[in-house]
Amino acid sequence: MKAAFLPDRGVVKIAGDDARGFLNNLVTSEIEVVTPGTARFGALLTPQGKIIADFLITEAPAGHGGGLLIDCPRELAQPLATKLGFYKLRAKVTVENLSDAFGVLAVWDGEPGMKPDLTFADPRNAELGYRILVPPDLVPKMFAVLKAQQAWEQARRFLSDPAYGLVVLDELNIALKYRYLDVHTVIADLLDRPEMQHVVVTGRGAPPELIAVADTVSEMNDVKHAFRAGIAAQAGTEW
């Protein structure tokens, strides 16, 4: 699974009682079938049929205020919002350029194990994967979640292979503590491993669910540490 932040993408929101019908009469997409978690590819055209902007459009769940969200080129977000505002006349809609409030992530070559509310499959081609709309300050955390999921895909391959007698999942507890991975999914994969395979999980803050299914649980106490003598973390040991 791969992921990338798309800084050249912006987001425009259309909300209100008439939002769906308003857009359905203006753009090339069939807006009536758009739901949270799904999207359509469409465009706004001039009366002569020239493309003003093309975009992906999805619906925000009620927990995110509802409305329709357009994922479009960032440089066209404000002109698009202005143009749509010009067309609304007496329609009960609001149009906002939310490009500063949302970042756009692309995920492909695999399916995200956990999908935030504003996640949708790219409707143009299955190989294009998914789009995730998140506030810019949460982009680093989202990347961490996706990287953890990518690592767990590799771990799952080890756990399903009887050729490995011992699998060490270093610092897995940290990923579980910060909820980068779903603990119930992890436990299910651990319990489904080959009968004679042993697994060692390290890291502080092991969740109670993992402790409950473990055969052996140990705690390490810091008696003396090289950090306090000014010795930095060593490659191949701490990381």
Q: What is the mean pLDDT of residues 92-101?
A: 93
CA angle in degrees (0–180, nearest 5) for 95-106-31: 40
Q: What is the pLDDT of residue 73?
A: 95
Distance CA 103, CA 142 (A): 11
- For all residues of the chain together, what is the average pLDDT? 91
Least confident window among 24-28, 154-158, 189-193, 194-198: 24-28
Amino acid identity for residue 5 in this structure: F
Q: What is the pLDDT of residue 216?
A: 96
Half-sphere exposure of 90 (CA within 13 A, CB side): 0
Percent of the chain with pLDDT strictly greater than 70: 100
Distance CA 42, CA 44 (A): 7
Distance CA 72, CA 74 (A): 6
Q: Other C-beta atoms within 10 Å of 163: how many? A: 7
Q: What is the pLDDT of residue 136?
A: 82
Distance CA 144, CA 64 (A): 23
Q: Which residues contact 175 (CB under 8 A, 6 or more apart)?
A: 148, 151, 152, 181, 203
Residue 110 — pLDDT band, cuts 50, 70, 90? Answer: confident
Q: What is the pLDDT of residue 28?
A: 92
pLDDT at 86 over 90: no
What structural domains and CATH numbers belong to the chain? 2-134 (3.30.70.1400), 142-223 (3.40.50.300)
Q: What is the pLDDT of residue 233?
A: 87
Q: Beginning with the edge strand found earlier in the chain, give each strand of the sheet holding 9-15 in spatial order.
A: 39-45, 51-59, 68-73, 9-15, 94-97
Amino acid identity for residue 200 in this structure: V
pLDDT at 48 over 90: no
Torsional class of 155: left (φ above 0), alpha (ψ -120 to 50), beta (otherwise): alpha
pLDDT at 238 over 80: no
Q: What is the pLDDT of residue 182?
A: 92
Q: What is the pLDDT of residue 154?
A: 93
Q: What is the pLDDT of residue 152?
A: 93
Q: What is the pLDDT of residue 117?
A: 86
pLDDT at 25 over 80: yes
Query: Angle at which helices 183-191 and 139-159 pack, to 10 degrees?
Result: 10
Q: What is the pLDDT of residue 236?
A: 81
Give, as one character, the DSSP assignment of residue 124. T
Q: What is the mean pLDDT of residues 208-225?
A: 93
Q: Which residues contact 167 (CB under 8 A, 6 or more apart)?
A: 155, 158, 159, 193, 197, 198, 199, 200
Least confident window among 43-47, 53-57, 124-128: 43-47
Residue 82 — pLDDT band, cuts 50, 70, 90? Answer: very high
Contact indicator for 141, 32 with CB cutoff of 8 Å: no
Which ranges in the chain belong to alpha helices (H)? 19-24, 74-87, 139-159, 172-177, 183-191, 208-213
Q: What is the pLDDT of residue 220?
A: 87
pLDDT at 114 over 80: no
